[in-house]
Every structure is written in structure tokens, then in C-alpha cells.
Amino acid sequence: DQQVKQNSPSLSVQEGRISILNCDYTNSMFDYFLWYKKYPAEGPTFLISISSIKDKNEDGRFTVFLNKSAKHLSLHIVPSQPGDSAVYFCAAPVPGSSNTGKLIFGQGTTLQVKP
Amino acid sequence: DTGVSQNPRHKITKRGQNVTFRCDPISEHNRLYWYRQTLGQGPEFLTYFQNEAQLEKSRLLSDRFSAERPKGSFSTLEIQRTEQGDSAMYLCASSLRQGMSETQYFGPGTRLLVL
């Protein structure tokens, strides 16, 4: 079973506070993870990624944490800004697809940052 | 702008008609992917090209769907005898594999509505 799950369909936070978006996966063979942000009527935009050899990757206001034992990753946005309001997808290359790189996506979490 | 482009951005067609979408990837990228996204779901993999070779097709891709990448540059996705269930956002992504990691960059998508 190769699934990536985002169990929270939506999240609302106040501007300036931390946003935490969660993602779980079922196969311990997943070794690379990506987060994408999507605005309405646009394609997904790459945000940040993490390899399974790391447990943290940071890029400005965005940090991704990986807990391999729990098969869980999270995206932290600090401080949250109204422009961060979008749908966030976690994704991973399907294990064993190193030749194709095809991605499997979670269902997405809609983040709303209130001014 | 040197990002991935897709045309048309929107397409409305009647059931039974054929439609064709075009994707222009980032110029130096040798890998090209098609995904389909329906409401409330993450993108789902359809097919993958490395240069001009179509190396993988999803079981989601019925025989009414065909994709080409004739010169290893732009790609087309054709749907014959469209059905209402084909209504979705069709996303194209391109990438350049570097080492063990790969980041796919998405175009804005083509939104198809089949009446």
C-alpha cells in the first residue's frame, strides 16, 4: 500500500502565528518528500522538500520536519501571512519508481491565514 | 518567463468530442509528466516521458487518452470521445533529475469541462 495522507482538510490560523500542516505516509520505502502550494486556478508551486536522510529542512519561514519512525512529516510556517492562504499538498515519489519519479499526492489541506 | 506553460487554460466541450491540450516544459528539462486533479483531491499521475519516450502510463489512462512528445520538447494530451467523468484539471510538470532527488515544476493546468 503506497499512500500519502493529509487528514486535516482545512486549517485556520491568525496572521503572525505558526501554521502546522501534517502528512502521514504508509510505506517506509518513501525516501523523499515535497510540499507544494496551490492557489485557485493555478498549478501547484514547489515549496520545500526533504530527503529521508534528514529530519529537518528549513527555507526562510518554511520548515519541514520528518519523523521516519512515525511515518509522519509536517510543514511549519512561521510567521504565517495572509498570502500563505492556499491549498498545501505533500507528495512523494512512488517507491521503486526511481526511474520515473512519478509522485503520489495527499488530498491537500486548505490553509486560511486571517489578518 | 521560463516556467511550464499549458494551453488552453480552459476548455469546455460537449460529450463525445475530442480535445487536445499542449504543454511546453522548462527548456532544459528532459522529464515531462501529466497529472489529473479533481475537486478535493491531490493530483493523480497519468503518464511520463523521458525525452520523447513515453515510459509509463497509469491505469487511469484509458484507451481514449493518448499523449505524445514528438521531439522531446512540448507534449500533447488528447482525449477522444470525451465523457463527463473526464472533467478535471489536467496538469503538466517537468523536471531535470539530479542525483537521487528530483523536483517537478507544474504548469498552470488546463481545466476541462465536459457537458
Q: What DSSP line would sit under A88-103, residue for residue?
A: EEEEEEPTT-TTT--E
- Rounded CA separation A21/A27 (Å): 20
What is the pLDDT of chain B when averaged over all its residues?
92
**With an 8 Å Cβ cutoff, is A25 touching chain B?**
no
- Rounded CA separation A20/A25 (Å): 17
Cβ contacts of A54 within 8 Å, gap of 6 or more: A66
Residue A99, pLDDT score: 65
B17: amino acid identity, one letter: Q
Q: How many CB pairs under 8 A join A and B?
A: 71
Task: Give the pLDDT band of residue A4 (cuts 50, 70, 90).
Answer: very high
Residue A71, pLDDT score: 95
Alpha helices in A1-115 (DSSP H): none
- Give the closest residue to A68 by CA, choosing from A32, A37, A109, A111: A32
Q: Over the stretch A8-48, which tens digit does the pLDDT of each residue have?
A: 999 999 999 999 999 999 988 888 999 999 998 889 999 99
Cβ contacts of B58 within 8 Å, gap of 6 or more: B44, B45, B46, B47
Task: Give the pLDDT band of residue A110 (cuts 50, 70, 90).
Answer: very high
Radius of gyration of chain A (CA): 14
Residue B1, pLDDT score: 55
- Rounded CA separation A36/B15 (Å): 33
Question: What does B33-49 look like in DSSP terms, one character per residue?
Answer: EEEEE-TTS--EEEEEE
**With an 8 Å Cβ cutoff, is A74 touching chain B?**
no
- Give the closest residue to A20 by CA, choosing from A62, A50, A53: A62
Residue B87, pLDDT score: 97
Q: How many residues does chain A have?
A: 115
Residue B104, pLDDT score: 92
How close, in Å, is residue A8 to chain B by CA atoms?
12
Smallest CA–CA distance from A91 into chain B, residue: B42
**With an 8 Å Cβ cutoff, is B42 touching chain A?**
yes
Between residues 50 and 79 of chain B, which touch chain A (CB distance below 8 Å)?
A: 55-56
Q: How far is CA A87 from the centre of its chain?
A: 10
Task: Answer for the pair B75, B34: CB distance below 8 angstroms, yes or no.
Answer: yes
Residues of B in contact with A32 (CB under 8 A): 100-102
How close, in Å, is residue A115 to chain B by CA atoms?
25
**With an 8 Å Cβ cutoff, is B25 touching chain A?**
no
**With an 8 Å Cβ cutoff, is A104 touching chain B?**
yes
Q: Over the stretch A40-76, which tens digit does the pLDDT of each residue have?
A: 888 999 999 999 999 999 999 999 999 999 999 999 9
Task: Give the pLDDT band of residue B88 (cuts 50, 70, 90).
Answer: very high
Cβ contacts of B85 within 8 Å, gap of 6 or more: B114
Q: Over the stretch B34-79, which tens digit does the pLDDT of each residue have?
A: 999 998 899 999 999 999 999 889 987 889 999 999 988 999 999 9
Taking 80 as the threshold, does the pLDDT of residue B99 lie above it?
no
Phi then psi dihedrals of residue A66, to 5 deg = -120, 125
Residue A98, pLDDT score: 54
Share of chain B above pLDDT 70, in %: 97
Q: Are B97 and A101 an interchain contact pair (Cβ–Cβ within 8 Å)?
A: yes
Residue B97, pLDDT score: 76
Q: Over the stretch A93-109, which tens digit does the pLDDT of each residue have?
A: 887 755 678 899 999 99
